[in-house]
Homo-oligomer: A and B are copies of this chain.
Amino acid sequence: MRIGALEAGGTKMVCGVGNEFGQIECLEKFPTRTPETTMPQMISFFKEHKIEALGIGCFGPIDLHKESTTYGCITSSPKEAWRNYNILKEFSKELACPIGLDTDVNAACLGEMEYGAAKNCKNVIYITIGTGVGMGICAEGTLLHGVMHPEAGHMFVKRLPSDSFEGTCPFHKDCLEGLVSGGAIGARYGKKAYEIPVQDVAWTYTAHYIAEAIANLILTLEPERIILGGGVMEQEQLLFLIQKEVISLLHGYLGIKQLHKIEDYIVRPGCKGDQGVLGALLLGRNELSK
Chain A: residues with Cβ within 8 Å of the partner, total of: 47
- Would you give the shortest CB distance from A205 to chain B, in whole angstroms? 15
With CB as the reference atom, state the residue of chain B lying closest to A142: B140
How many copies of this chain? 2
- Would you give the shortest CB distance from A191 to chain B, in whole angstroms? 27
Where chain A touches its partner, the secondary structure class is: loop
Across the interface, which residues of B come within 8 angstroms of A139, CB to CB? 139-140, 142, 144, 146
Contact assessment for A147 and B223 in the assembled complex, using a CB-CB cutoff below 8 Å = yes
Across the interface, which residues of B come within 8 angstroms of A257, CB to CB? 147
Contact assessment for A146 and B221 in the assembled complex, using a CB-CB cutoff below 8 Å = yes
Across the interface, which residues of B come within 8 angstroms of A221, CB to CB? 144, 146, 150, 220
Across the interface, which residues of B come within 8 angstroms of A251, CB to CB? 171-172
Most chain B Cβ neighbours within 10 Å, of A75, A146, A155: A146
- Would you give the shortest CB distance from A215 to chain B, in whole angstroms? 6
- Would you give the shortest CB distance from A80 to chain B, in whole angstroms? 16
18 example contacts (A-B, Cβ-Cβ < 8 A) are as follows A135-B220, A139-B140, A139-B144, A139-B146, A140-B142, A144-B221, A147-B223, A147-B224, A148-B222, A151-B253, A152-B220, A154-B219, A155-B216, A155-B220, A159-B159, A171-B251, A172-B253, A217-B220
